[in-house]
Structure 1
Amino acid sequence: MNLTSRIGVGMHRFLITLLTVLGLFSSINASAAPSINGAGSTFAEPIYTRWMSDFQKKDGTTQYNYQGIGSGAGIRQLLEGTVDFAGSDDPMSEKDAAKAKSEVLHIPVAMGAVVVSYNVPGLKKPLRLSGPVIAKIFNGGIKKWNDAEIAKLNPSEKMPDLAITVATRADGSGTTAVFTEYLAKVSPDWVGKNGKTVNWFIGSLGAKGNAGVAGLISQNPGAVGYVELLYATENKLAFALVENKKNQFVEASAKSVMVAAEGLQKEALEKKFKISLTDSDRKGAYPISSFTWMLIYSQMPKEKGQAIEKFAKWVLSEEAQKTALSVHYAPVPKDIRAAALKAIGEIKLN
């Protein structure tokens, strides 16, 4: 082998070694990138999944993951330290807050509607239901679809002589908390019985997650349940027009949810964003509306804290809020978003 050949072989080996080393460093850097894990609300799972996919295309330095396991389980995992943030549609209780290693911020990231979805064959128009009638259906007091109280609200429909099967959540759920908070406001029979978990009447059916309840409704003629709006639309389930405080029968939509949140900046600041939208007295408001919150610690380790802060700020951007609107969530009002961004900016990174 001549000198030129030896140099060529040596250079080839050198380049292979260099590429191997560079690949190793690249692998080490990739594995060293922080991974941010969230869990909780199934109400908000579709939008977190979309946001994380979009954000990682913009900033690939961090891996973001979210698991819809119910608001109650998400809060429990946040307190246990197995996730970095929780998604919840119901504010953390004082009891849970006392267990936290530092103050837990409730960042409102979107708004949505809980709809009363049903599987009643042969109807020509969406059902019209009042709060008291919904309350009776969900405590087992109304047992058939041709009950006089339902028929009175829907005079143009011939309601079928069909048994009502009530589908509920079997897990600790922010969706349940929102729905039963509304029931407690419109019916004395529900006062003190609302929350993330409820002792439903014997004969009702339970399922995990919004997807599970949607499945029960679609598979059982005569069924009725409560789910986040997107789960009803994606599964092509009918949902009722619900009577609000102005005696209007309102369809759940991003627009009617946004009406429920108008003019609440002062209250939002006073209550650190932990405010209710149910049973609004505004004209055109859908009465079973809610914020969904990203629960994050006010003090966090620097590396993960920076990644969480960056994502949370982007979620409140115009771009991310428009994405929420495209999938049937309502954007957070701009004045409340501005206040939330200020709260995120005050997070202490250790």
Structure 2
Amino acid sequence: MKTKLLLGILFLTTICCSNPQPSNKSSSLPHHQGKIKITGAFALYPLAQQWISDYQKLNPNIEFDLQAIGSGNGLIEVLNRETDIAMISSQIPAEHDTTLWSTPVARLAVVPIISKKNPYLHKILKVGIKKDDLITLFLNQNKRTWGGIYGKSSEHPVNVYVRNDKSGATDVLANYLWANPADIVGIKVTGEIKMIESVKSDPLALGYCNLVYTYDLNNNKFFDEFCILPIDLNQNGVIDKREDFYHDFAKIQRAMVLGKYPCVLDRNLFIVTLGKPKTKEVVDFLKWVLTDGQKVVPQMGYIELRNSEIRYNLYYLLN
């Protein structure tokens, strides 16, 4: 057992410490018929849009069909051969390990969100919310009130919203709450945009979304009308200096890189195909995503993968 482990480590070290040489293997693959169809996670959709835009400037004859339908639905489509590439934003089920080929392409966190019209907003931003309270609110059908959580007498209910489109964000949140996705109860909405619109319009809302949907990259500011609900990580009843990074996008990204934000909520995003990619155009596109395409990952509000991780997956794509 020790010998096998040592050989595996040596093999990974050899790959990760060397740069895979560009391969001409794709030139011998059959050409793709029609558009390259990519479906799945809302989490990856903005980044995939940018990748396609940049890639088509270099390869104007390559056409794509990009659809955000939810991570779980993307997985179903790729297994049913209804899409060429699936965007997956949660852990790939173990039973599909031998069926699917996958590579991580970026990292992104899930964050709880509330309306800026919440009557307790000032107190909420000052003290945050404890994980225990999040568990109770998302998993308990016996509704609690905002006043009950923040020490004031009121009858303002917490209106919990939950995605019902097989979203990876729901899977990630449930994992953080030590629960199954089906255990999360609330008002059902379909898609990331509908979740955000619901939270914006409901002063008593509690929802969740992927971090990139909270920030306007064009104007370098958080979107109006809703905000991230700070998590009181040490559950001491106040957002300490170490936890006070939610008002600045660069700071919250930095906190996630340093592990100050719950690592369970900050996960890899995957590109998945049914078996190893089989056509020249798909292989060439994925090779570009793992090389030049990585340059836009931080610009789009995502967290970059380690270079060693990229080189490792690039090696297995090209060999």
Deviation, structure 1 residue 58? 1.4
Deviation, structure 1 residue 56? 0.6
Matched, 1:295 2:272: yes
Structure 2 Cα separation of the partners of residues 294 and 39 of structure 1: 10
Matched, 1:144 2:118: no
* Aligned pairs for 1:1-350 within 5 A: 34-97=34-97, 100=99, 104-119=100-115, 120-121=118-119, 123-124=121-122, 126=125, 128-140=128-140, 143-147=144-148, 150-151=149-150, 162-184=156-178, 190=179, 194-195=180-181, 198-201=182-185, 204-234=186-216, 235-236=223-224, 237-244=226-233, 248-249=242-243, 251=245, 253=249, 256=252, 282=259, 284-287=260-263, 288-301=265-278, 305-317=279-291, 319-346=292-319
Confirm or deny: 8 A CA contact 1:258 1:330 kept in the other structure. Answer: no
Confirm or deny: 8 A CA contact 2:101 2:276 kept in the other structure. Answer: no
Gaps of 5+ in 1: 1-31, 153-157, 185-189, 263-281
- RMSD over aligned Cα, in angstroms? 2.7
Confirm or deny: 8 A CA contact 1:257 1:286 kept in the other structure. Answer: no
Structure 1 Cα separation of the partners of residues 49 and 125 of structure 2: 30
Deviation, structure 1 residue 110? 1.0
Structure 2 Cα separation of the partners of residues 206 and 60 of structure 1: 40
Deviation, structure 1 residue 286? 4.3
Q: Deviations over 1:46-66 (max 9, x none)?
A: 111111111111112311221
Q: Deviations over 1:162-207 (max 9, x none)?
A: 22100100111111111111111xxxxx3xxx24xx1443xx2111
Q: Deviations over 1:42-98 (max 9, x none)?
A: 111111111111111111231122110011110111011111010011232134456
Deviation, structure 1 residue 230? 1.9
The percent identity for this pair of structures is: 22
Larger Rg: 1
Structure 1 Cα separation of the partners of residues 131 and 55 of structure 2: 39
Greater relative contact order, per chain length (Cα 8 Å cut-off, separation 6+): 2
CA separation of 1:298 and 1:62: change in aligned 2, threshold 3 A: same
Structure 1 Cα separation of the partners of residues 155 and 290 of structure 2: 48
Number of the residue aligned with 1:3: none
TM-score by length of 2: 0.75
How many residue pairs get matched?
A: 268
Deviation, structure 1 residue 146? 1.7
Number of the residue aligned with 1:29: none
TM-score by length of 1: 0.68
Confirm or deny: 8 A CA contact 1:257 1:289 kept in the other structure. Answer: no
Structure 1 Cα separation of the partners of residues 288 and 108 of structure 2: 19
Structure 2 Cα separation of the partners of residues 106 and 254 of structure 1: 29
Q: Deviations over 1:195-236 (max 9, x none)?
A: 4xx1443xx211111111111111111001010112223443
CA separation of 1:345 and 1:239: change in aligned 2, threshold 3 A: same
Structure 1 Cα separation of the partners of residues 97 and 312 of structure 2: 21
Deviation, structure 1 residue 137? 1.4
Q: Deviations over 1:265-309 (max 9, x none)?
A: xxxxxxxxxxxxxxxxx4x234421111000244343xxx22122
Gaps of 5+ in 2: 1-31, 217-222, 237-241
Q: Deviations over 1:282-339 (max 9, x none)?
A: 4x234421111000244343xxx2212222222222x533422122211112121111
Structure 1 Cα separation of the partners of residues 68 and 135 of structure 2: 27
